[in-house]
Structure 1
């Protein structure tokens, strides 16, 4: 059994230096790609965590009172991506001082998405092409191995030993060719699985922070604003109508009060001023 494992290991590690060179190149490319994915994964998680820290421990009830602290946290962030994204998001917020609420006019996905928070790992075309590079290098090794094997085959010779040597050279070249393809396809498959799984986890974290921000900052659509404007206009019309009626009633009461006061004033004037004067005139006329 141990000898069988050694034989299989020899099949995957060709004796030809060209085949080994192709395998070493593919392994180095695979290690570099995996390290690159790890670095981008770390940076993306760090950026997402900074966004989470801005809205950490916030609720819909305390959001209105703490909106100034949230803005200060975003401004003091040492990540320029997070700082710029939150500034743009803050410009879309609407504060309702009557109901003491904070609303957004655009979804969080418009600002906080995989392209903005994790562009290195979700929109990196060079990294996405790395598995194809591995497969291409393996296929290139396959064609080179077959070419070398066929080149060593001398069909024009009538000597048995020369034919045997040519056939052995062709077999060795074919073996190297298929081994490089196996390494290329295998490493490409492993890298593709690892890269896509990492990307899926990062996108899951981005969606989670989107949902949290949308929950804290409810959407204020334009239709709702139009309905509120129509409602407020109707209430204003009713209030103006009532105000008109009240002004008319008060004015009528005021005029009626003025008439009574004027009547009393005329009566007092006649009794206190005109009556003595008339009495005096009558007396003088009699004399």
Structure 2
């Protein structure tokens, strides 16, 4: 009897440990890089406020330097800048034309290319699955110690206590899985 109750606790804490470790990996390998990319784009956007449509052509080299020193933006810029045509007007001003839309390069898919987003977007399902796994493991462990063929009340009480312990595991692992899936 004591072994089954202990087993429920081990399963419950095991599921919690797996969920906790997965959450830490999520924060470190996805949350942190996403935050860094957001910060990089915000910083770059603030630098772009110094330019207007009228002066951007004549400050093209300066703008290129800004792009080339910006991590993910520098790789996207290198690809996009191959489509730029720089001409000089008769009055000596530079004019820059693009043969392709910038939206084809500066987009969600290119910004998140190195983040393995398909895996991380499925993490909610993984947490839910772990919660369901804990639910079935807890209920199975709880039901395994009930002997319904006995007439001994003390033995039935032990079985019911085991079942309640399994339900406890089932409830908490399901709750943890759902909460982590929502986050």
The reply on whether 1:106 has 2:115 as its aligned counterpart is no
- TM-score normalised by structure 1 residue count: 0.52
Equivalent in 112, 137, 143 of residue 144 of structure 1: 137
Q: Which protein is bigger by CA-based radius of gyration? A: 1
RMSD: 2.7
Choose the corresponding residue for 1:45, options 25, 28, 38. 38
Label 1:170 to 1:41 Cα distance change in 2 as closer, same or farther (>3 A): same
1:1-48 Cα offsets, whole Å, 9 max, x none, are: xxxxxxxxxxxxxx8332233223323322332343431123312542
1:231 alignment partner in structure 2: none
Which one scores higher on RCO, CA 8 angstroms, separation ≥ 6?
2
Query: TM-score, normalising length from structure 2?
Result: 0.77
Q: How does 1:62-141 map to 2 (within 5 A)?
A: 62-75=55-68, 77=69, 79=71, 81-98=72-89, 100=93, 101-120=95-114, 124-141=117-134
- The unaligned stretches of length 5 or more in structure 1 are 1-14, 191-287
Q: Distance in 2 between matches of 1:155 and 1:179?
A: 26
Question: Is 2:40–2:70's contact at 8 Å kept on the other side of the alignment?
Answer: no
The structure that is helix-richer by fraction is 1
- Select between 96-105 and 176-185 the one with higher mean Cα deviation: 96-105
> Using the alignment, how far apart are the partners of 1:35 and 1:71 within structure 2?
31
For residues 70-118 of structure 1, the C-alpha deviation after alignment (integer angstroms, 9 at most, x for no partner) is 334444x263x43332232222223453474322222211111122223
Across the two proteins, how many residue pairs are aligned to each other? 173
Question: Structure 2: where are the runs of 5+ without partners?
Answer: 1-7
Instruction: Give matches, 1:145-224, under 5 Å.
Output: 145-190=138-183
Aligned to 2:96, the other structure's residue is in SS state: strand
